[in-house]
Amino acid sequence: MTSAATAQAQATQPDNRTRLIDAAMELVAQQRWEDITMTDIALKAGLTLTDFRDCFPSKGAILGGFAKLIDKKVLSGGSDDLLGEPARDRLFDVLMRRLDAMEPYRDSLRELNQWVRRDPATAVALNSTALNSMRFMLEAANIESEGTLGAVKLQGLVLAWQRIVSIWLDDDSPDRERTMAALDRELERGGRLVERAEDIDRLAAPLRTFAGALLTSGRRLERRVRDRMAQARTRTRDGNDHGDADARDQSAAREAADN
């Protein structure tokens, strides 16, 4: 094999991170996640435990790597042809592409979903991973995800996505009709919640401005009070110093007269 052919073959081979992710997903399709060890995953991938350590700090970190892998598959698809469509339609398309990217791992994700239900603490730990993924999904749909309202959208979308995935995992219809109907309902509900949040944010804006002005004024008043107290202490100290000097002079004069 020529050097060019060798280089091309190496380029088409999955890197160690991908091999470990694929191995973990294959194993979890066959057994409980709790029963799988890092060594099991490394052996399944044809790698060593040292290779595993170079790629991931823990078994759980592989799930973050898997989420990132799905993110990249969705983002590589692009949504430029939907830029003129309503935000809801753009997000619907992005999330359906995400489900398509997850389809080869459906059996694995079914077991992982059961594992999360068995271990509620895990759901909390995975929430940050889900937030990161949904942030990129909103960005791919050209929907704002920054600021207070952005945080509301993100967490709401994470919760909605969990419900959608649970339905998708049990949806055996040819066209995923139940899944698409659930996705449509969740996006409609989410849209109403976002509209209410935006209304509350607009109503609260004058109050935030007033509160900010009060806070600024309070800080200025506090500084003026501190300055005046410092000046008063200085004057008192200076007055005491002069009083002590006068007393010393009077005592010296009395002593001279007595002598």
Q: Is the pLDDT of residue 7 over 60?
A: no
- Distances in whole angstroms, Cα of residue 22 to Cα of each of 50, 105, 235: 18, 9, 78
User: Of residues 37 and 205, which shows the higher confidence score?
Assistant: 37
Q: Is the pLDDT of residue 197 over 70?
A: no
Give the best-scoring range by mean pLDDT among 50-54, 111-115, 178-182, 205-209. Answer: 50-54
pLDDT at residue 87, as a whole number: 86
Residues 6 or more apart in contact with residue 19 via CB below 8 angstroms: 45, 46, 47
Q: Is the pLDDT of residue 259 over 70?
A: no
* Residue 31 backbone class (left: φ over 0; alpha: ψ -120 to 50; beta: rest): beta
Residues 6 or more apart in contact with residue 198 via CB below 8 angstroms: 149
pLDDT at residue 207, as a whole number: 44
Contact 21, 62 (CB under 8 A): yes
The pLDDT > 90 percentage for the chain reads 49
pLDDT at residue 222, as a whole number: 65
Quote the mean pLDDT of the chain.
80
Instruction: Report pTM.
Output: 0.70
pLDDT at residue 77, as a whole number: 80
pLDDT at residue 234, as a whole number: 72
